[in-house]
Structure 1
Amino acid sequence: MASNDHWRIEVAASQSPWTHPHWVEWIKWVVASYAQWTGQSLSDAGPEEFPRVLFHAPFVLVSHGKEADPVLCYGNQTALKLWEMSLSQFLETPSRYTAEPMHRDERAQLLERTTRYGFVDDYQGIRISASGTRFRIHQATVWNVIDAEGTYQGQAAMFHEWTPIGS
């Protein structure tokens, strides 16, 4: 994959981001890593359909890269709606900004635990959208994304349930 961020602009400008070669490769790693860590599949679709099906899935699927301050590099439509961001906004966001400042230490502990064990499947926490809407995520699975050679590339998270907080 490209070492620069030019692909983010291309993906954000696309009407069908799931067709961009970067995303196709990334989602293969996300799906294979999830299966390796959990023994489960993210979808019943065939591998060639994963990018499209997961982009339109009714659950949240997000991921970030391995930068020192990781930036979001994937978010499906459900995630974009929940975080109230356009795809271009999402792909420019450091993943730590998905949590309020007071909850970032908790988030950092989750990511460290995921790094150590490969995945966790019991995470609950509070997140915040771009407009300031707070919500609690339930039973999130977070896992390390590795490439075909087994090299760490980042982390992904998936969850089906969330609850708005406040009004």
Structure 2
Amino acid sequence: MEFDRGEPDEGNGFQAAHAELIASSHLRLLRRPLLPDGGDDGDTARRLYHAPFVILAHDAAPDPVFFYANLAAQELFEMSWQEMVRLPSRQSAEPLAREERQRLLARVARQDYIDDYAGVRIASSGRRFRIAGATVWNLIDAGRTVGQAAAFGDWIALA
């Protein structure tokens, strides 16, 4: 599956197709909506992009690359949309944490989702932060896994 990596805005409906894939996969696998009130008002894409928690998604390439990062993710990782959607997702973790991250992705691939992930990530400035309580799930389109997404609202800066 090819992902449009254009920045979400009014012109592309805030990446409506990506938002639908992320939200519908979450609902199907976790049996609960990603947005607190369900997001059935026809404005899911805008609401995901402006959500007060981080939402990220990467493709299913052998070295997955992010194709979606809402504003909270861009701020936390200190990157623009264009920087985020060119970033191999492994580079969001420090080199020593990449093996742990790979185990996480394999676990999600087997189970379809996890809702208890914690780990250390790194912003473009080198600032490190620990995330906790992250949910990571497979993105399913027409019966096949096309990537994975993550959402979390809990992080703390590390020294």
TM-score (norm 2): 0.93
1:33 corresponds to 2:36:
no
Consecutive unaligned residues of structure 2, counting only runs of 5 or more, are: none
Q: CA offset at residue 20 of structure 1?
A: 2.1
Which residues of 2 match residues 125-164 of structure 1 at below 5 A? 125-147=119-141, 149-164=142-157
| 1:36/1:86 CA distance change after superposition, 3 Å | same
Quote the Cα distance in structure 2 between the aligned partners of 1:40 and 1:101. Answer: 33
1:79 to 73, 93, 102: 73
Consecutive unaligned residues of structure 1, counting only runs of 5 or more, are: none
Amino acid at match of 2:65: V
Quote the Cα distance in structure 1 between the aligned partners of 2:115 and 2:11. Answer: 29
Deviation beyond 4 Å, 4+ runs, structure 1 = none
What's the secondary structure of 1:67's corresponding residue?
coil
Deviations 1:60-100 (A, max 9, x none): 00000011100000000000000000111011100000000
Using the aligned pairs only, state the percent identity. Answer: 39
Higher relative helix content: 1
What's the secondary structure of 2:52's corresponding residue?
coil
Amino acid at match of 2:152: F
Q: What is the total number of aligned residue pairs between the two structures?
A: 157
Amino acid at match of 1:29: L
Quote the Cα distance in structure 2 between the aligned partners of 1:146 and 1:59. Answer: 22
- Partner residue of 2:44? 50
Quote the Cα distance in structure 1 between the aligned partners of 2:53 and 2:14. Answer: 22
Q: CA offset at residue 23 of structure 1?
A: 2.4
Deviations 1:88-145 (A, max 9, x none): 1011100000000000000000000000000000000000001100000010000000
TM-score (norm 1): 0.89
1:124 to 113, 118, 134: 118
| 1:101/1:25 CA distance change after superposition, 3 Å | same
Q: CA offset at residue 150 of structure 1?
A: 1.4
Name the Cα RMSD after superposition. 1.6
